[in-house]
Amino acid sequence: MTDANGTRKRDRWRELERVTGIAGLLATVLIFAPITAISTLGEPGFDATRAQAAQFFVNGDTAWVAAATATASVGMLAFLWFAAALTTLLRRAEGEPAWRSTAALVSAVLVAAYGVVDASWDAAFNRGDELDSSVAIFAFDLGNLGFANAWLALGSFAIAAGWALLSGRALAGWWGWWPIVAGVGLIAVRYAWEGFAWTLPYLVFWAWVIALGIRLIARPTVIARARRPV
């Protein structure tokens, strides 16, 4: 009976690791696919003029863009599922008090909340051909600054999750250092949000999500069998 209970428990942890990996990969697809599609409308840089911002929203006043922005919000919810599942695994690896895992989860909630609640661009696209240029540039900057602030929460999640991985020694050390480096970069680039420097740590972070997702699907129980925390 004890062996049967132990086997069922291990199976549940394996299932959780697979779900974590699937959620991470799904979140990546659901976030990047609509963002990439919307960028084809001629999205200007963060320093766009009023006319450029207004034209961008006029170009996006279509049904498929409305569907794309909704899909991106669903992607943020998928990211929250990924973070909730991952931090559950990390809590087991980290041991008590599992404060790093908790910090990671709270940070992920902030990221997802931004993705779902911030509707500045959604509203501007909805009536793009009716927007005054002053309103258009305000909506454009509001969306971009909200995105830039989300880097802080995303960086916090990355640092806390990486630290928990290192603390619990759940995987090889570079799995923990990878998100920590990305997280530090995400926080640093918030102070230079108008350039393109943010793309490097942002893509490094999502590359980690993809790689970790594949690892958890292909080889479950790597975190569930974590060694004793240091």
What would the pLDDT profile of 90-99 be if each residue is shown by its tens digit? 988 888 888 9
3-state secondary structure at position 1? coil
**Within-domain flag for 224:** no
- How many structural domains are present in the chain? 1
Q: What is the CA radius of gyration of the chain?
A: 20
- Rounded Cα–Cα distance for residues 29 and 32 (Å): 5
Q: How confident is the model at residue 230 (pLDDT cuts 50, 70, 90)?
A: very low
Residue-number span of the structural domain to which 187 is assigned: 2-218
**Within-domain flag for 229:** no
Under 8 Å between Cβ of 204 and 185: yes
Would you state the pLDDT for residue 93?
Answer: 83
Would you state the pLDDT for residue 229?
Answer: 43
Four-CA torsion 14, 19, 21, 25, nearest 10 degrees: 160
**Within-domain flag for 30:** yes
Query: Which residues does 199 contact at the CB level (< 8 Å), separation at least 6?
Result: none
Extract the tokens encoding 186: 């995400």
**Within-domain flag for 225:** no
Residues 172-225 pLDDT 10s: 889 999 999 999 999 999 998 777 889 999 999 999 999 999 999 988 776 755
- Rounded Cα–Cα distance for residues 99 and 81 (Å): 19
Would you state the pLDDT for residue 3?
Answer: 60
- Rounded Cα–Cα distance for residues 163 and 56 (Å): 40
**Within-domain flag for 228:** no
**Within-domain flag for 226:** no
> Is the pLDDT score of 68 beyond 70?
yes
Would you state the pLDDT for residue 226?
Answer: 56
Find, among 119, 182, 174, the residue nearest to 156 by Cα: 182
